[in-house]
């Protein structure tokens, strides 16, 4: 990936906002090979400057305004909420369509996140298909943040929103969002993409061209190289698995319960007390964890423990927790 970046570094011209045809084809090939999504139209692929900018600006790019609703998971990455507010829309935390109730007619965007941050929860085909059918019935777009899909631990295949078993073979009104920050350790490259409905992608493209939302060509080349190589993903996953085993064993030995966490980069831990009390307890042991309230009211009694540390720090976590 670094070699691809270097080889493309002589890039004095403006990059293509739409991405090069080679990049878009690489994304389509990757979906077929790794995500069970055959026949993705490369015209429905859009490189993004990391996934966070896309999450934050999608409601604005879609033209949402005051009175429109954006549904997102109850325990969720905060940017779903912030993105709705930037557009003047209203965020609605809900894990099921029934929770939205009579306001469903005002829903314009539904965010899914599977595997979830912070919970590591994985949504099955039936759940995803139900959300897609419901969103289509009310004319809402479904955007599925699937950035942790290559990191399953205690589950089988992690379905994509674009899987034919979920969407019935049509990508209308659907976008899958993916980043190489996790699977390829490329957070610093800001290499990501959205894929799905070509008509929706073209609408977003028209705005992004004027907003200057262009992924540099060297980064596009690194992204293309990363998607073509499965070996480094397996190696990265093995590192995370080893750290996860150390952290989970230490947490459970210390009396914590791990909820969900069947995939992704985090352990969603609790000992059934206010999360800030748990954060303070960890701090006394020299350990930093994230309070669950960072991710919404649903996390008030949990903390998020990240696997994104070095092997040495993972060992230190276990030793400090044992002493505590």
The rounded mean pLDDT for the chain is: 96
pLDDT of residue 4: 97
Which of 229, 264, 286 is at the close of a domain?
Answer: 229
Residue 237 sits in the same domain as residue 224 = no
Burial degree of 219 (CB within 10 A; 0-12, 13-18, 19+): buried
Residue 11 sits in the same domain as residue 100 = yes
pLDDT in tens, the chain (324 residues): 999 999 999 999 999 999 999 999 999 999 999 999 999 999 999 999 999 999 999 999 999 999 999 999 999 999 999 999 999 999 999 999 999 999 999 999 999 999 999 999 999 999 999 999 999 999 999 999 999 999 999 988 899 999 999 999 999 999 999 999 999 999 999 999 999 999 999 999 999 999 999 999 999 999 999 999 999 999 999 999 999 999 999 999 999 999 999 999 999 999 999 999 999 999 999 999 999 999 999 999 999 999 999 999 999 999 999 998
| β-bridge mates for residue 305, sequence order | 267
Residue 190 sits in the same domain as residue 247 = no
Residue 99 sits in the same domain as residue 123 = yes
| β-bridge mates for residue 48, sequence order | 192
Residue 63 sits in the same domain as residue 212 = yes
Which of 229, 257, 278 is at the close of a domain?
Answer: 229
Q: d(Cα 169, Cα 297) in Å, to the nearest integer? A: 36
Pairing state between β 266-270 and 191-196: unpaired
Q: What are the residues whose beta carbons fall under 8 Å from the beta carbon of 281, sequence distance 6 or more?
A: 324
Q: d(Cα 300, Cα 93) in Å, to the nearest integer? A: 14
| CATH code of the domain covering residue 311 | 3.90.1150.10
| Per-residue pLDDT tens over the stretch 158-214 | 999 999 999 999 999 999 999 999 999 999 999 999 999 999 999 999 999 999 999
Residue 225 sits in the same domain as residue 239 = no
Domain count, the chain: 2
* Domain limits for position 311: 232-323
Q: d(Cα 228, Cα 29) in Å, to the nearest integer? A: 8
Residue 175 sits in the same domain as residue 77 = yes
Residue 243 sits in the same domain as residue 188 = no
What percent of the chain lies above the pLDDT cut of 90? 97
Q: d(Cα 257, Cα 176) in Å, to the nearest integer? A: 31
| CATH code of the domain covering residue 36 | 3.40.640.10
pLDDT of residue 156: 82
pLDDT of residue 78: 96
| Per-residue pLDDT tens over the stretch 41-57 | 999 999 999 999 999 99
pLDDT of residue 155: 87
Q: What are the residues whose beta carbons fall under 8 Å from the beta carbon of 187, sequence distance 6 or more?
A: 50, 181
Residue 81 sits in the same domain as residue 117 = yes
Residue 80 sits in the same domain as residue 201 = yes
Residue 241 sits in the same domain as residue 204 = no
pLDDT of residue 324: 86
Which of 203, 229, 255 is at the close of a domain?
Answer: 229
Q: d(Cα 152, Cα 140) in Å, to the nearest integer? A: 29
Residue 60 sits in the same domain as residue 146 = yes
Cβ 100 vs Cβ 94: under 8 Å? yes
């Amino acid at each position: 990936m670094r070699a691809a970046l270097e080889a493309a570094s002589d890039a004095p011209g403006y990059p293509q906002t739409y991405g090069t045809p080679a990049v878009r084809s690489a994304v389509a090939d990757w979906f077929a090979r790794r995500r069970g999504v055959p026949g993705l139209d490369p015209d429905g692929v859009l490189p993004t400057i990391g996934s966070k900018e896309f999450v934050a600006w999608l409601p604005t790019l879609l033209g949402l305004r005051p009175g429109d609703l954006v549904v997102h998971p109850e325990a969720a990455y905060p940017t779903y909420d912030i993105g709705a507010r930037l557009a003047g829309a209203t965020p609605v935390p809900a894990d099921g369509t029934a929770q939205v109730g009579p306001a469903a007619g005002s829903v314009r965007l539904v965010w899914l996140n599977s595997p979830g941050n912070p919970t590591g929860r994985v949504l099955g085909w039936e759940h995803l298909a139900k959300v897609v059918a419901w969103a289509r019935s009310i004319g809402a777009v479904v955007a599925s943040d699937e950035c942790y899909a290559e990191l399953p631990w205690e589950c089988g295949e992690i379905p994509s929103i674009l899987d034919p078993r979920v969407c019935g073979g049509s990508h209308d009104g659907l976008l899958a969002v993916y980043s190489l920050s996790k699977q390829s350790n490329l957070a610093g490259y800001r290499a990501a993409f959205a894929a799905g409905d070509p008509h929706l992608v073209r609408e977003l493209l028209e705005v992004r061209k004027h907003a200057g939302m262009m992924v540099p060509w060297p980064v596009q080349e690194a992204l293309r190289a990363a998607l073509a190589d499965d070996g480094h993903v397996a190696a990265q996953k093995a590192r995370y698995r080893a750290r996860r085993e150390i952290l989970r064993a230490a947490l459970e030995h210390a009396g914590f319960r791990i909820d969900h966490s069947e995939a992704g980069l985090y352990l969603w831990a609790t000992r059934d007390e206010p999360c800030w009390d748990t954060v303070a307890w960890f701090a006394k042991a020299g350990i930093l964890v994230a309070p669950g309230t960072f991710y919404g009211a649903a996390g008030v009694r949990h903390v998020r423990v990240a696997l994104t540390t070095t092997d040495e720090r993972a060992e230190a976590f276990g030793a400090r927790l044992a002493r505590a």
